[in-house]
Amino acid sequence: MNYHDHPQERNLTLQKEFVLLDFADVPHLQWFLFGLFLIIYIIILLSNGTIFLLTKIDPALQSPMYFFLANFSFLEIWYVSVTLPRMLMNLATQRRRISLVACATQMCFFFILGTTECLLLAVMAYDRYVAICNPLHYPMVMNHRVCIQLVAGAWLSGMPFQIGQTYQIFSLPFCGSNLVNHFFCDIPPILKLGCGDTFINEILEFTITVLFVLLPFLLILGSYSKIISTILKLPSATSRSKAFSTCSSHLMVVVLFYGSATTAYLRPKTGQPEGTDKVLSLFYTILTPMFNPVIYSLRNKDVIVALRKLLCK
């Protein structure tokens, strides 16, 4: 339990804004980091935007797999846009203040989109499972209506939980320090500033993490255990190679995203070096969305062909 309601803090003025410290501990690198993250942001927008465009205009990419990939690329654009523009502004202006309303809004959207990403990765794993383990039933099982329902479920399922969690967190009184040792309004550093008992909030955070991070991850592992078992039974080496190539890109994205996110939110919070959360957060908030289009495009012949067609036109 975190008890911050000490007698000496009760008479302090309640905070109306926070200060995001982001990378204030390395002042000599501020402009270098600004340039680096600006380039990364542009790469993310262009690469994910290109994949989204290709899946919409190329006839060869009109399948359930690319329908999910289009949604995933669209999601990644919004996912990074919740945190990166604010961080760039802070690095450029050195004005790191953020109001409670803006902080709550950022947190809510970030976790809604993060929940969507977890569920969408699970949906993509299910799509590969049906395609490889039940190829004859694939067109019937993964019809257009089912695909839309799965995507809608991924986008909408986490909304009430994350809105409720954000409301619960920002119902706490915040007094004393208003310094957030992070580059966005993440749950753990915000809870540290609460003046009351945050035990309920921590239980809620853990429960939602298990439901929307750990459970989809276990479903993905279950899908891939069946997929790998089926692939190993294929008679020809060519068939096995082709099947592995269609799944390996998605599996790499899953490992990158889930590995960093699970470590950040489910690891013990005590005894960790200062700044560990920020480093881990960089992986699943910025680096993974940057690598995803590269992983999918460079390892996918259909996407490369579609890109060549677009460039030739």
CB 286, CB 80: distance < 8 Å:
yes
Compute the half-sphere exposure of residue 151: CA atoms within 13 Å on the CB side of its CA: 19
**Does 3.90.79.10 match the CATH number of domain 14-312?**
no
Predicted local confidence at residue 167, as pLDDT: 94
Q: In what order do the strands lie in the sheet with 97-99?
A: 97-99, 17-20, 179-180
Strand partners, 97: 19
State pLDDT tens for residues 59-98: 888 999 999 999 999 999 999 999 999 999 999 988 889 9
Q: Is the dihedral of CA 49, 52, 54, 56 positive or negative?
A: negative
The ranges of the chain with pLDDT < 70 are 1-14, 266, 268-275, 298-299
CB-based burial of residue 133 (10 Å sphere; 0-12 exposed, 13-18 middle, 19+ buried)? middle
Cα–Cα distance for residue pair 161/150, rounded to 1 Å: 18
Smallest Cα–Cα separation from 50: which of 248, 297, 249, 256? Answer: 297
Could you tell me the two tokens for 164? 């409720």
Smallest Cα–Cα separation from 260: which of 281, 229, 240, 245? Answer: 281
Cα–Cα distance for residue pair 28/24, rounded to 1 Å: 9
> b/e string for 63-86 if b means 16 or more Cβ within 10 A?
bbbbbbbbbbbebbbebbbbbbeb
Cα–Cα distance for residue pair 75/122, rounded to 1 Å: 14
Predicted local confidence at residue 269, as pLDDT: 63
Domain ranges for the chain: 14-312
Cα–Cα distance for residue pair 202/238, rounded to 1 Å: 49
Beta strand 97-99 with 179-180 is unpaired
State the residue for tokens 């569920």. 119
CB 1, CB 197: distance < 8 Å:
yes
